[in-house]
Amino acid sequence: MSNYRTAVITGASRGIGAATARALAKRGMEVTAIGRSAGPLEDLKAEIGCTVRPLDIGDTAAVMAALKDIEADVVVNNAGTMTQSAPFAELDLLELQQSVDVNLKGTLAVTRALLPGMIERKRGHLFFITSMLGPYAAPNASVYAATKAGVRAFASCLRLELAGSRVRVTEIAPGRVHTSFFSPAFKGDMEAVEKTLFSEYDALEPEDVASALVGALDLPEHADINRIEITSTDQALGGMTYAKRAS
């Protein structure tokens, strides 16, 4: 493994973020877990001994103030939110704005706060958790797809800017992951989420995505995996083909 010692993970109160925090803490890294839900963050702190910072990353000023003194070797930009599954013309404007604030603006703010120190120290690894809906289109997910495509473009540009800086950049684009993340798409109805997306399918688990991230992190520091697309073995073609579990 690299000589990285510290990690900052956004969206760490659940799902992929929490699984990544556990994986990095297990490997001896000092983890700062960021999320909007204080209760789950405190539970994570009790479990793995991480530092927690309840924070809405959609608030740029709050992000810059909260992270200005943090030294991060690894930054995992994982926080995200979905809108309800509906045509764009029917979306609530507040829901639309929240998605842009968290998924795109928040990612930019966190990276802006922590990247200068990484460049100065000449070491580090930036991770961006995007989605198969970044490069591949799907109906009723226009805003989410647009924000993830924006993060994808941002990561690609950073990779060019940071060549020679010793700061690595990796985008991880997962397919369907078995978490509560999809709740907003179903208006908070988790029973519908389970029935529609998971009951008949073998989806990825958060730990699978965390394992892919650790694999990229474990490369020698002169090597960088630029992009990972990870799906269930039964999900393919940008997520549009998904075979049901055999009965």
Give the Cα separation of 90 and 3 in Å (integer). Answer: 49
Q: Identify whether the C-beta of residue 46 lies closer than 8 Å to the C-beta of residue 38.
A: no
Given CA atoms 147, 151, 157, 158 in this order, what sign does their dihedral have? positive
Closest CA to 26 of 1, 43, 60: 1
Expressed in angstroms, the distance from the first to the final Cα of the chain is 41
Exposure string for 133-166, b = 16+ CB within 10 A, e = fewer: bbebeeebbbbbbbbbbbbbebbeebbeebeebe
Cα 29 to chain centroid distance, Å, stands at 18
Beta strands at 74-77 and 124-129: parallel, antiparallel or unpaired: parallel
By annotation, the residues acting in catalysis are 144
Cα 217 to chain centroid distance, Å, stands at 15
> 34 has which bridge partners?
53
Give the Cα separation of 147 and 130 in Å (integer). Answer: 9
For the chain, state the CA radius of gyration.
17
6 by Cβ neighbours in 10 Å (0-12 / 13-18 / 19+) ranks as middle
